[in-house]
Structure 1
Amino acid sequence: MKFTVKQIAHLLNGEVRGDDSLIISQLSKIEEGSQGDISFLANAKYESFLYTTNATAVIVSQGFEPKKKLSTTLIIVKNAYIAFTQLLEEYQKILNFSKKGIEQPVFVGENTTIGEEIYQGAFSYIGKNCKIGTNVKIYPQVYISDNVSIGDNTILYAGVKVYENCIIGNYCVIHSGAVIGSDGFGFAPQADGTYKTIPQLGNVILENNVSIGSNSTIDCATMGSTIIREGAKIDNLVQIAHNVEIGQNTVIAAQTGVAGSTKIGKNCVIAGQVGVNGHIAIADGTKVGGQAGVTKSVRKEGISINGTPAFDLNDYLRSMSILRKLPALEKQVRALETQVEELINQGVLA
């Protein structure tokens, strides 16, 4: 795939300084650029590479003025980082959505409808009574059970498993190994010490523009739905339990686990290896630090928390500061104890 500098500048609403007819065929880091590449400069510490790069074009922010002579063409945009991100997104769309057609062997159940521009990879399975939208890309060895709905322009990478009755929206991306709709962890203890399985009869709903990372699992609801709201982004190796609700545009990093029936608000940021208790609520805009344990509801919006159990980030940082000083404090206390004993022995203190 090849584009001119002029075409890329038009896409990014940018201004060209140099030759706009040059051909771009790939993207690269500025320090690794070669002929035909386009790169970007958003961090001043990389500016030196601008004067030595072999990249054909470089995206820079408005107001930037080079300090040396350049051998590359510049595309000037409002924000270079955002513009390059947009370019990456467009490039990815071209790559991901270029696949079309149905490979063999595949299976499609009765009463299933499939939209135009479909790609269905070899050894993929689609059950009965499913509705698959337009321009959906189903990679090899994907399993889609009965009564599943998948919206337009959604990608399911190799090895994804979608259980029955789940609903997936438009422009979703589900990466390899993810499981959508597996049974929630529901077991009732019995008098004899055994456990009786509680049937999990609900489903999972992924709204539009949701991203699910590799080998993450989202359990179906016991009744009703486990819901991942529009724009939410879930990293690799994340466990979302039954009846959980994740709010709009919330992001959750790897190795986080959210227990059953918890409601997480919109625009939250949850770092890696966080454990979230069940049956609690986390307010909109909450930021949870890495390895935190959230054991109770967070009612106030927009705060940052950390620690186990998690509490206000500023208090947590002060606590950590004191904790680092404990060895020195212990020495001071022991020294004071010795001084007090000496004063008692001298009869100064009773």
Structure 2
Amino acid sequence: MEFTVQQIADLLQGTIEGDNLVGVRTLAKIEEAQEGALAFLSNSKYEPFLYTTNASAVIVSNKLELKKPVSAALIRVEDPYTSFSVLLQHYQHALIASKTGVEEPCFMGSSSQIGKGHYRGAFSYIGNHCKIGQNVRIFPQVYIGDNVEIGDNTTIFAGVKLYANTKVGSNCTIHAGAVLGSDGFGWAPQPDGSYKAVPQIGNVVLEDDISIGANTTIDCATMGSTIIRRGSKIDNLVQIAHNVEVGSDTVIASQTGISGSTKIGNQCVIAGQVGIVGHITIADKTTVGAQSGVSKSVKASGTIIQGSPAFDYKQNLRAMTVFRKLPELQRDLEFIKQKQRD
């Protein structure tokens, strides 16, 4: 696919300096770009590459003042990084949208429905009584259990498993290997020291505009639903337990684990390798730093916490400063005690 600089500028609502008819057929980093590529500049430390790049066009800020002549056509926008992200989304969508039709072998059960413009990859399986919307892309080796519902324009990449009764909204992306609806970790201890399984009969519900990362697992509820609210983005290798509720527009980074029945608020940021205990509530707009262990509820909106156990971010930094000085403080203490003995 090839586009002119003018077409790209129209999409981004930008202004052009240079040849508006030059063709662009690929995207690249500004330091690596060759003829026919479109790059972007958002970080000032990469500005020297602007004057040497072989890119045919570069997206730059409206505020950038050139220090030297530039051979590439410039597309000036308010925020180059966001604009380039928009282009990447369009490019990715174009690649996915090129997948249409039904590859064989694949299977769809009785009474299941699927909308127009869909794609079903080879060895995909759709159970009975499923309702699947329009323009849904189901890649090879996807398993969709009975009574699953999937909204319009959702993409489900290879090897995803959606257990029975899972509900997925519109405009969602579920990346390879994710599992939604597997049993929650419910085991009742017995007098003899063994454990008896507690049946998990609920489901998983994803609202609209959600992204689920590769190999992430979201357990079904014991009863009711495990819910991910609209617009949330969940990274690879995240574990979300039964009856958890994740609020809208919350982001959760890789290797985080959230225990059962915990409620995460709206617009929260959960960094990598965070562990959150069960049956607590995290307030809206909470930020949890990487490798933190959250053991109690966070009640105030906008709180920033860090550490294990996690507490106020600034207090944690001060505590870590003291911690690093402990060997020196111990040496001073031993010196004082020796003085007293003398």
Question: Shorter-chain TM-score: which interval?
Answer: over 0.9
Structure 2 stretches of 5 or more lacking a match?
none
**d(CA) in 2 for partners of 1:291, 1:283:** 19
- Using the TM superposition, give the Cα deviation of residue 81 of structure 1 relative to its aligned residue in structure 2, in angstroms: 1.0
Give the counterpart letter for 2:118 in structure 1. I
Q: What corresponds to 1:24 in structure 2?
A: 24
Matched, 1:117 2:138: no
Q: What pairs up with 1:113-192 in 2 under 5 angstroms?
A: 113-192=113-192
Whichever residue aligns with residue 224 of structure 2, its letter is G
Query: Which position in structure 1 is the counterpart of 2:328?
Result: 328
- Quick one: distance in 1 between partners of 2:240 and 2:70? 51
1:40 deviates by 0.5
Structure 1: distance between partners of 2:223 and 2:340: 67
Residue 72 of structure 1: aligned partner: 72
Shifted more, 84-93 versus 25-34: the winner is 84-93
Name the SS for the 1:196 alignment partner. Answer: strand
The runs of at least 4 aligned residues of structure 1 exceeding 6 Å deviation read none
Which residue is 1:81 aligned to?
81
> Quick check: 1:92 aligned with 2:92?
yes
The letter for the 1-side match of 2:227 is I
Which amino acid is 1:206 matched to? Answer: L
**Residue ranges of structure 1 left out of the alignment (5+ in a row):** 343-350
**2:287 is aligned with what amino acid?**
K
Aligned residues: 342
Structure 1, 327-336 or 115-124: larger mean CA deviation: 327-336
Partner of 1:339: 339
TM-score scaled to structure 2, two decimals?
0.99
- Give 1:252 deviation, angstroms: 0.6
Q: Which residue of 2 aligns with 1:286?
A: 286
**What's the CA shift for 1:57?**
0.2
Deviation at 1:337, TM superposition (A): 1.4
**1:101-157 superposed Cα distances (whole Å, 9 cap, x missing partner):** 000000000000110111000000000100111000000000000000000110100
1:262-308: CA deviations, max 9, x gaps? 00001100111111000000000111011111011000110111111
Aligned-partner Cα distance in 2 for 1:117–1:309? 50
Please give the root-mean-square deviation of Cα atoms over the aligned residues, in Å.
0.7
Secondary structure of the residue that 1:39 maps to in structure 2?
A: strand
Equivalent in the alignment of 1:237: 237
What's the offset of the Cα at 1:185?
Answer: 0.6
Q: Deviations over 1:227-272 (max 9, x none)?
A: 0000111111110000000000101111110000000001100111
TM-score (structure 1 length as normaliser): 0.97
Q: Which residue of 2 aligns with 1:306?
A: 306
Amino acid at match of 2:67: K
- Work out the CA distance in 1 between the residues paired with 2:263 and 2:50: 47
Equivalent AA in structure 1 for residue 201 of structure 2: L
How much does 1:190 deviate?
A: 1.0
For the pair 1:57 / 2:65, whether they are aligned, the reply is: no
User: 1:235 & 1:79 partners in 2: Cα distance?
Assistant: 25
Q: C-alpha displacement at 1:192, in angstroms?
A: 1.5
State the match for 1:207 in structure 2. Answer: 207
1:5 paired with 2:29, answer no
- Cα distance in 2 between the residues matched to 1:340 and 1:179: 65
Paired-residue identity, %? 59
SS of the residue 1:30 aligns to: coil
Deviation of 1:44 (Å): 0.7
Corresponding residue number in structure 1 for 2:225: 225
For 1:122, the aligned partner's letter is: A
Q: What is the identity, as a one-letter code, of the residue corresponding to 1:18? A: G
Superposed displacement of residue 90, structure 1: 1.0
Q: Distance in 1 between matches of 2:75 and 2:307?
A: 45
In the alignment, residue 227 of structure 1 is paired with which amino acid? Answer: I
The farther-off stretch of 331-340 and 196-205 is: 331-340
TM-superposition CA deviations, 1:309-334 (whole Å, max 9, x none)? 11111111000000001111111111
What amino acid does structure 1 have at the position aligned with 2:93? Answer: K
AA aligned opposite 1:315:
Q
Cα deviations across residues 197-222 of structure 1 (Å, max 9, x unaligned)?
A: 11111100000011111111000001
- What is residue 277 of structure 1 aligned with on the other side? 277
Q: In structure 1, how many angstroms separate the alpha carbons of the residues matched to 2:341 and 2:199?
A: 68
SS in 2 for 1:209: coil
Aligned mates of 1:20, 1:253 — CA distance in 2: 40
Bigger CA radius of gyration: 1
Deviation at 1:92, TM superposition (A): 1.0
Shift, 1:96, TM fit: 1.5
Query: Matches of 2:56 and 2:275 in 1, distance apart?
Result: 47
**How far does the alpha carbon of each residue in 1:142-198 deviate from its partner, in whole angstroms, 9 at most, with x for none?**
000000000011010000000001100001000111000001111111112111111
Indicate whether 1:14 and 2:14 are aligned: yes
Post-superposition offset of 1:74: 0.2
